Amino acid sequence: MIALVDCNNFYASCERLFRPEYNGRPVIVLSNNDGCVIARSNEAKALGIKMGAVFYMMEEMIKEHQILVFSSNYTLYGDMSARVMNNLARFAPAVEVYSIDECFLDLTGMTDLEAYAHRIRHSVIRNTGIPVSVGIAPTKTLAKLANKMCKHTGGVCVLDTEEKIRQAVETYQVEDLWGIGRAYAAKLITMGINTAADLRNMPIGFIQERLTIQGVRMWNELWGKSCIPVNDALDRKKALCTSRAFSRLTSDLTVLIEATASYASRLSLKLREDKSCATVISVRLLTNRFKTDQPQACPSIAIPLTHPVNNTHDIVHTALAGLRAIYLEGFLYQKVEVMATGLIPESEVQLNIFSKWNGPVYDKLSAVMDQINKHYGRGTVRIAAEGQEQTWAMKRRYLSPAYTTEWKDIIKTK
DNA sequence: TCTGGGGTCCTAGGACCC
DNA sequence: TCTGGGGTCCTAGGACCC
């Protein structure tokens, strides 16, 4: 049997954790640049606020219902996530951290799962303050389904008999299935397939044809046959990306250079944290797709590197060369993306006999910068190309303190 | 004024190899 | 009438996840 443990309204729960006076009040968390709603407390959901709702259109509602608003604070969420996952790791021999707020537990061979699920819930809330739901079933797909079903009914659901599974899939909407997104849901519903049971009752040939191999796996899993194992190994990333909208649109190349240098620098840090090196750096500029009355463009380039690297200097240098190559005048850009692909482990980098390469010097420089920034805070030392003012930097008007990761932000008691 | 930021997997088609 | 049989790699596009 497999358990899926999912944190309830995770970002909203994190924000409220350090502000207990907000319990019982509607809380929303915004995306980067304070653009749209990406997390809601139950009270906010009850007000009818939808996932992805556009924030600037909500002004009246915020006032009327005294909704508490937060900019997203990934430093806080990442740290709270690690605490929750550490706590969960004690409950199973194999766990797979599936996302920032979800974890699969392999409960093979365990008995009295209902009681065990309650123990997991109580442990996490007691040790971290984050409420979770636990769904248990023979497969990952059914565990996801079980978890979603019990979000508002006690937080525990165990589907351990065929009869319980049959009843569950009959009322479960097809668009809520793990693996069915917007496009598939629309197609299936026009064909009269509305519930998980409807889908499960279709012939396998139909599934293979319409939903390809991943659909076949899902279909088998709905019948209780596990096809997606719990993967407790940490897979290496295949790509890393830093992409962010600016606080305002711009056509100014000097602004784009600053932003690109800054994102590339951040990307190189991610590479070093991942202990991998990039063999290809890609850069892409994007205009605002919502402004349909303005000319649109998204020029991009992929630059192969002569030597796999992860130091700040080489990554920034390459990204800026890419930016200059693709920049087109006459467009208002909203965002730049810098991506690293063809990743290889840092320890497996091959030397290149033909190219002169100053990497070691820059590698050392990056290591020193990382040490300083780790001690004194991100951005304490950075390269000049990133700029001083950073007028393009994203909006975070409602940012909460980094309660658990910054000494200056730690909670004080009287 | 204002609409997120990361990732993964699969398929089809084309170019190439022996 | 009729033109082999295996492969790999790459890219673009489309689907999905959180």
Same fold, A161-222 and A239-386: no
The torsion angles phi and psi of A144, rounded to 5 degrees, stand at -60, -45
What is the maximal distance between C-alpha atoms in chain A?
Answer: 68
Nearest nucleotide (CA of A280 to C1'): C10
Task: Tell me how crowded residue A410 is: count the other CB atoms within 10 A of its CB.
Answer: 11
Query: For the sheet containing A68-71, what is the strand order?
Result: A37-40, A27-30, A68-71
Whether residue A355 is predicted with pLDDT greater than 70 in this model: the reply is no
Distance in Å from C16's C1' to A228's CA comes to: 15
Q: Quick check: A71 and A399 in contact, CB under 8 A?
A: yes
What CATH superfamily is the domain A2-149?
Reverse transcriptase/Diguanylate cyclase domain (3.30.70.270)
Nearest nucleotide (CA of A341 to C1'): B7
Question: In terms of Cα–Cα distance, which of A106, A117, A113, A146 is closest to A226?
Answer: A106
Question: In terms of Cα–Cα distance, which of A343, A240, A339 is closest to A286?
Answer: A339
The torsion angles phi and psi of A302, rounded to 5 degrees, stand at -120, 120
A109 token code pair: 């061979």
A101 token code pair: 């707020």
Sign of CA dihedral A214, A215, A218, A220: negative
d(CA A99, CA A88): 14
Whether residue A250 is predicted with pLDDT greater than 90 in this model: the reply is yes
Whole-number pLDDT of residue A66:
94
DSSP-derived secondary structure for A86-99: HHHGGG-SEEEEEE
Nearest nucleotide (CA of A304 to C1'): C10
Higher-confidence position of A217 and A350? A217
Q: Give nucleotides in strand B with any atom < 7 A to a protein C-beta.
A: 1-11
A131 token code pair: 């409420």
Name the protein residue, with chain letter, whose CA is nearest the C1' of B1. Answer: A248
Whether residue A266 is predicted with pLDDT greater than 80 in this model: the reply is yes
Whether residue A10 is predicted with pLDDT greater than 70 in this model: the reply is yes
Whole-number pLDDT of residue A127:
97
Distance in Å from C1's C1' to A355's CA comes to: 58
Q: How confident is the model at residue A340 (pLDDT cuts 50, 70, 90)?
A: very high
d(CA A126, CA A209): 47
The residue written with tokens 């990307």 in the block is: A267
Q: Quick check: A107 and A2 in contact, CB under 8 A?
A: yes
What are the residues whose beta carbons fall under 8 Å from the beta carbon of A209, sequence distance 6 or more?
none
d(CA A390, CA A89): 41
Identify the CATH number of the domain defined by range A161-222. 1.10.150.20
For the stretch A295-312, pLDDT in tens is 888 888 888 888 889 999
Name the protein residue, with chain letter, whose CA is nearest the C1' of C14. Answer: A183
For the stretch A165-210, pLDDT in tens is 999 999 999 999 999 999 999 999 999 999 999 999 999 989 998 9
Question: In terms of Cα–Cα distance, which of A334, A326, A332 is closest to A300?
Answer: A326
What are the residues whose beta carbons fall under 8 Å from the beta carbon of A92, sequence distance 6 or more?
A3, A105, A106, A107
Report the mean per-residue pLDDT for chain A. 93
> What is the torsion angle, in degrees rounded to the nearest 10, for the CA atoms of residue A189, residue A191, residue A197 and residue A203?
-140
Domain map (residue ranges) of chain A: 2-149, 161-222, 239-386
Q: How confident is the model at residue A45 (pLDDT cuts 50, 70, 90)?
A: very high
Binding residues for strand B (Cβ < 7 Å): A 31-33, 35-36, 38, 52, 54, 56, 212-214, 235, 237-245, 248-249, 270, 288, 290-291, 334-335, 339, 394
Instruction: Count each helix (H run) and each strand (E run) in chain A, helices first.
Output: 13, 13
Name the protein residue, with chain letter, whose CA is nearest the C1' of C17. Answer: A179
Range A239-386 has CATH code 3.40.50.11030: no
Binding residues for strand C (Cβ < 7 Å): A 98-102, 144, 177-185, 302
Helix (H) or strand (E) holding A264, with range, is: helix A253-273
Distance in Å from B8's C1' to A97's CA comes to: 15
Distance in Å from B14's C1' to A281's CA comes to: 24
- Of all residues in chain A, what percent carry a pLDDT higher than 90? 78
Q: Give nucleotides in strand C with any atom < 7 A to a protein C-beta.
A: 11, 14-18
Distance in Å from C2's C1' to A204's CA comes to: 39
Nearest nucleotide (CA of A274 to C1'): B7
Task: Tell me how crowded residue A361 is: count the other CB atoms within 10 A of its CB.
Answer: 11
Distance in Å from B15's C1' to A220's CA comes to: 37
Sign of CA dihedral A264, A267, A273, A279: negative
